[in-house]
Structure 1
Amino acid sequence: MDKGLILIVEDEPRIAEILEAYLAREGFRTVTAASGDLALSHHAMLSPDLVLLDVHIPRLDGFEVLARIRQEANTPVIMVTALAEDIDRLSGLRLGADDYVVKPFNPQEVVARVNAVLRRSRAAGASRTLRFAPVEVDLDAHVAFVDAGTSRQPLALTLSEFRIVAYMIRRPTHAFGRADILDACLPENDALAKTVDTHVANLRRKFETAGVPGLFQAVRGVGYRFAVPK
């Protein structure tokens, strides 16, 4: 079961590995960043469902990363810290964080907090349906549809294909690199870039058969975009 993508921002490799393992066991995909600038890059490119954000990281601390995320998106963020002065700042959650945890922590508690924050954010009205006419993606039902005007035709997609569609339709005219698609959609596999080419070719064929040609166009030197800007 794919419960979403979690961005773990942590510069201590052992802690990041533990969080990855516990979240994967719960059904989450994960991607990690060991610095603030890389965290912002991953957030912009991968659109994670939630960010686990350590306060004390190199090249932009967690508070600055949180502030910049909040300028662009409402992605749920759980802050992680070990210092009392940070806890004082976070206790009121005045900075836009959704929750916080204190080191040393129980990884199971962190997973429970992640689940709770995601439930709250989705219940508060976060859209679980993505649309780019005539394509609709239902994230809860894990189904992609093509709107034929009088009916909606479900597409028979593999899990990897569904992940790619759900990822790219969020920014339909953006040119995604193959490496970005691999990191966001196939992180548990030792996949090569050519794996993305195969999945995209299959997706293009399935959408064309459903009456929607022209999607998943190649961008020379970059990768693919879902649709051409109009």
Structure 2
Amino acid sequence: MSNNPVVLLVMIAMSVLIARFWWQDYRAQTAGQARPGALPGARPTSLRAVTIACAGVLVILAAETWGEQRLGLAAQQSHMTILFALYTLCAPIIEELVFRGYLVVENRGRTVMWLAAFGASLLFAALHPFLWQWDEHGFAFTLGAKGWFSAAAVFVTSLWLYAARLAAWNRTRSLVPCVAAHFAKNAGVFAIKACAGFVAGWW
């Protein structure tokens, strides 16, 4: 994702707008007035489902942080501005709508559903700039240990977020647990980076 402040502000605004549309569909569904063509997963769920989703993603983050320390990769973290951190707290609504919403394959059996989740998780990990970078110098692969480790962590996180959407404990297949867990993960990453001195400047 670009660190350009204008791009980040536009993406934050888009996230807020889409969240508003999703919330309108959610409220209609809660009131028993489901709209045709409503955004995916705009349905209520239980506190238990949200708690399980958030707990699982924080366990993954703790394991990722421990792994970076054990492998000597912690010092290779990327720096983050406060504006970028704000974007990462808004981004879950868009990313969850796309990946755990529109890219969920249903009504074709559990095997196909989970194979699709596996493939989409590979794509989700590949789109994060851990194994590549694109800046003013052009495009380049970054296939070092840190890149592979971080990409693997994103892949595992994505699979867990699919579980949060599709598992039996989320009976309505709401996106609320996914968005809440994704937000918790990104907030945790920001907190860890801030404590380690990898957050610098507003933009």
TM-score range, shorter chain: under 0.3
Q: Structure 1-normalised TM-score?
A: 0.24
Instruction: Considering fraction of residues, name the structure with more helix.
Output: 2
Instruction: Considering fraction of residues, name the structure with more strand.
Output: 1
Q: Structure 2-normalised TM-score?
A: 0.26
Q: Which of structures 1 and 2 has the larger relative contact order (alpha carbons within 8 angstroms, sep 6+)? A: 2
